[in-house]
Amino acid sequence: MDHFGVPVVTLEEFARLRPTLGTIVAASGGFDPIHPGHISLFQEAKKLGDTLVVVVNGDAFLRVKKGRPFLNLETRCQIVSAIRGVDFVVPFEIENDPSICGALEKLRPHIYAKSGQWTHINPPPELKVCEREGINIVYDVGAPKRWSSSEFLKNWEDYKKDII
């Protein structure tokens, strides 16, 4: 996969690099389209360790969440790879699994950074894997939720309907 910034690697490639990376922080999402909230997640997550790896959820995840992706997985990975503070990008796709549990099991980051929509009261689907693997989840990373990729796309679709 071409990239314009930091390496876009497979889980296997990352596993080979892992011993040299210090404290590893992982963040994840669809990033479709990317917005300032995502950037703040990356910037704040990077402060939690030495290496920030961003897992970009695949197109199947977005089909479940939104009906279809706006940008394909390769494009989203290329965009994320060019963002300051990101050290590695890992595309991740398992059909019929909207979580990144499989990625976390292989990446084994020290810290998993979650944005403000997830809390101890509303735990992420990856909580059990993190507990089992000894991954520390840090909640409320990044700016408060003010942006929504899904809302941007819905508003655009509504706008297009209004002008047609």
Query: Based on the number of CB atoms within 10 Å of its own CB, is 112 exposed (0-12), middle (13-18) or buried (19 or more)?
Result: buried
Give the number of domains in the chain.
Answer: 1
CATH, residue 73: 3.40.50.620
Look up the domain containing 69 and give its range: 11-163
Sheet holding 24-29, edge to edge: 88-92, 51-57, 24-29, 111-113, 136-138
Report the chain's mean pLDDT, rounded to a whole number. Answer: 86
Question: pLDDT, tens digit, for every residue of 72-121?
Answer: 999 999 999 999 999 999 999 887 777 889 999 999 999 999 987 666 66
Residue 40: inside a domain, yes or no? yes
Residue 55: inside a domain, yes or no? yes
The pLDDT value given to residue 154: 63
Residue 3: inside a domain, yes or no? no
pLDDT higher than 70, residue 130: yes
Residue 4: inside a domain, yes or no? no
Average pLDDT over residues 52-57: 96
Question: pLDDT, tens digit, for every residue of 132-159?
Answer: 999 999 998 987 666 565 565 565 565 5
The pLDDT value given to residue 80: 96
Residue 6: inside a domain, yes or no? no
Average pLDDT over residues 16-34: 94
Q: Could you tell me which residue, 117 or 37, shows the higher pLDDT?
A: 37
Residue 88: inside a domain, yes or no? yes
